[in-house]
Structure 1
């Protein structure tokens, strides 16, 4: 599995994830840190975007026993738009420019 790294240009906060098939995966703690919220708030937002159909929980969320749950880059974007539009737009743009070539 390839490792990917996103560095927020505004805050220098870093997300380190893994590429797996057609998605990059990031743990919930990193996602919460990127958006400046607590992990429990990020989990609540994740539940909300899943309930509204913004993400497909089976495809975009992985629950692991030994570490925080993992979110696909699609789920990170969905959660992020409920928290910080500017940081999310920058992350989405990075996904479009970087992940397209790495995932194929």
Structure 2
């Protein structure tokens, strides 16, 4: 797996991730920090995104070998739109441009 890093232009908060085939994976607690919320708030929003069909939990959420919860870039966008539209939009644009180049 290759590493990838996202830095939010408005907050300078960072996400360190891993590329796996056509998906980028990010640690759940970093995602919560990116959007300025607690892990509990993020968990509720993640559950909501799964309930509404914005993500497929079986495909977009997984546990790593260190028992950390990992979210796909699709799940990061879904959670982000529920809490901070601006930061989520910036992340989505980065995914569309930056990740597209890396997946080639």
Confirm or deny a common fold (TM above 0.5): yes
Superposed CA deviations along residues 1-51 of structure 1, whole A, max 9, x for unmatched, are 110000000000000000001110001100000000001110111011001
Counterpart of 1:40 in 2: which secondary structure? helix
Cross-structure match for 2:27:
27
Is structure 2 residue 91 aligned with structure 1 residue 91?
yes
- Determine the C-alpha separation between the residues in 2 that align with 1:37 and 1:24: 21
Question: What TM-score, normalized by structure 2, do the two folds share?
Answer: 0.95
Cross-structure match for 1:76:
76
Cross-structure match for 1:9:
9
Unpaired runs of at least 5, structure 1? none
Q: CA deviation at 1:66?
A: 2.8
- Determine the C-alpha separation between the residues in 1 that align with 2:65 and 2:19: 20
**4+ long deviations beyond 4 Å:** none
Give aligned pairs, total: 104
Counterpart of 2:5 in 1: which secondary structure? strand
* CA RMSD after TM alignment: 1.1
Q: CA deviation at 1:67?
A: 3.3
- Determine the C-alpha separation between the residues in 1 that align with 2:3 and 2:91: 16
Unpaired runs of at least 5, structure 2? none
Is structure 2 residue 18 aligned with structure 1 residue 18?
yes
- Determine the C-alpha separation between the residues in 1 that align with 2:64 and 2:16: 17
